[in-house]
Amino acid sequence: MIDLGPLGRHMPTFEPGSVWLVGAGPGDPGLLTARAIHALGTADVLVYDALVSPEILELVRKDAELEFAGKRGGKPSAKQRDITDRLIELARQGKRVLRLKGGDPFVFGRGGEEALALHAAGIPFQVVSGITSGLGGLAAAGIPATTRDTNQAIILMTGHYAMQGPEAIDWAAFARTGVPLVLYMAMNNLAAIIAELMRAGMTADTPVAFVNKATTPEQRVLVSTLGNAVADVAKAGIEAPAITVIGSIVPVRAALGFPDATV
């Protein structure tokens, strides 16, 4: 058990036979919540995602079981149904099951689906929020999510499977809002997304930033424009995992004294 000092008195009991859906934040172990650290030190088994860093895994109870359940686009990955079934199976064995996800489990993390399945199976569960990678990534890159002079709202969106099928997004509708867009998992569809946004009226000089591996020692930030973004990303070698932010908040980074690009 990790000693949380006086905070330990405020931690709920991690009951055997239950599942905790926990957010690991954007990457930096220092951004974990106290409740997430409590869960890591208490769980009997950890089912974790690809974006959970080795430094965070070091906080797991020494005799806990570790099961990798990462999903990465274009690579062999665990199926969501299999992951959910495994959570239920482990809980029914009387174990304290920690499902650890990068960011926040309820923000593009499939945590809502897992919670619904656990509830249907009669498995007790708790949700432990984490700093979502979109907002944590912006902060790490020196880009405020809002300022009074730039915007009164932001839109968090997924770019994964966002161009076709039942999850297709009406990009034109979002472009017309004029609100900054923060895109998760957009790199594979970047060219198509940008084409749709420009077709909807966004100008080529609209500022864009990419935050790769946010909050980690490997973080890289690329600042570009909508018209140049695809070429600049290719030249810089920016790949997933990355957060894409489009709109009026991007130039605030330079105003705060951050360099235009760190590649």
Residue positions annotated with a catalytic role: 49, 71, 185
Cα 134 to Cα 143: distance, rounded to the nearest angstrom: 11
Joined together, the tokens standing for residue 84 give 């959910």
Joined together, the tokens standing for residue 79 give 């199926």
Residue environment code for 2-23, b if the CB has 16+ CB neighbours within 10 A, otherwise e: eeeeeeeeeeeebeeebbbbbb
Residues 6+ apart with CB under 8 A from 21: 99, 101, 105, 106, 111, 114, 115, 125, 126, 127, 128
Cα 248 to Cα 263: distance, rounded to the nearest angstrom: 22
Helix (H) or strand (E) segment spanning residue 224: strand 220-225
Burial class (CB in 10 A: 0-12, 13-18, 19+), 79: exposed
